Amino acid sequence: MLPPVRHIIHADLDAFYAAVEQLDNPELRGLPVLVGGRPEGRGVVATASYEARRFGVHSAMPMATAVRQCPDGIIVRPRFDRYREMSGLVMDIFRDVTEVIQPVSLDEAYLDVTEAAANRSPIAIAIDIKERVSAETGLTVSVGLGSGKTVAKIASDLQKPDGLVVVPTGQEADFLAPLAVGKLVGVGPKSAARLHDEGVDTIGQLATMPEAWFARHFGKRGDSIRDRARGIDHDPVQTSREAKSISAETTFAEDLPGNSEDERAELRAIVERLSGRVARSLPGKGLVGRTVTVKLRLSDFTTFTRQTTLPSPTDDEAAIVATAWMLLERELAPDRAFRLLGVGVSGFTQKEGPDETPEPVVAQQRLIL
């Protein structure tokens, strides 16, 4: 029996951080806005307004490069508390439509509106979402609507900003066929380059390749990539808040460098405190983890993570502290100061009993403040 037809929306706020800055400061409207760190501090672009994108500026670009390409760009430091506030307002609008929501980040989410579509056209639902977001927040959101998450996400990106693209049920493969293979979820830039070398440039060409070919090129992901290329996607919208790590983080009142012995000792103490919180939460859940991650935000708001995988799963506080400190110590430099530090553990298995074999689990991602 075929599964019932689903109606999935992917909603993606347009140039979110920059749009919030332009909303709050009318003097920035219509101007090229670059949200991120200063160019002299090795900052990067978090988001660029569409006025700046016309100059080829994009997210994750070094700010120095962005300024060269867009010399009239106005650099604005990120205000993440404000972005979280605005994101919450938008997510509340989504929840008025359906409880089946999977937030992906502050500015995008999947919505399963199948149940709501029993009484209303799914297109009408999508239009209503766009209108409410605009009226109630002043932001614009691009929406893709289809039978699965793959086509919905790709569709939401095709007519930005303020787009609405609908992929009718049964036309998923036709919709995907002419698109560049790199647009398919799971095909990154390196994979796309390899496929291009083999003459596979579009999703439609990818879909025609035999099953064994996918196994050779993508390994265990072969079957799922092949299905997505053919427009087949039954992946559910994950309403569970569970993810794959347990973490703790803190933001400092003042930026903290690690140049002197006292500063390094202070950073070490923070690592110990955060690692302890994470470690103490594991036994109660019966979990041990193999991967330790540190999250760092510099004084210019550049944010990145470093991680390593241990030889065996652990919930030992000392091991987590030692590993997290090793990762942080490698990032200390005379020109760096930190404004946020986080420690996380992932790669979980259930802790073994006397006669048990550990099995992989998916555990709740918890931000322990």
DSSP conformation letters of 143-208: EEEESSHHHHHHHHTTT-SS-EEE--TT-HHHHHTTSBGGGSTT--HHHHHHHHHTT--BHHHHHT
Phi first, then psi: give them for residue 11, nearest 5 degrees.
-110, 130
Element holding 117 (H helix, E strand) = none
* Residue type (1 letter), 312: S
**How far from the centroid of its chain's Cα atoms is residue 174's Cα?**
28
Residue 257, both tokens = 């460098």
Among all residues, which ones are annotated catalytic?
A: 108
Phi, psi at 293, each rounded to 5°: -130, 140
Measured between alpha carbons, how far is 266 from 259 in angstroms, rounded to an integer? 11
Could you tell me which residues come within 8 angstroms of residue 171 by beta carbon, excluding any fewer than 6 positions away? none
Dihedrals phi, psi of 324, to nearest 5 degrees:
-65, -40
Sign for the pseudo-dihedral over CA of 205, 209, 215, 220: positive
Alpha-carbon gap, residue 17 to 82, rounded angstroms: 9
Compute the distance between CA of residue 199 and CA of residue 354 in angstroms, rounded to an integer.
Answer: 54
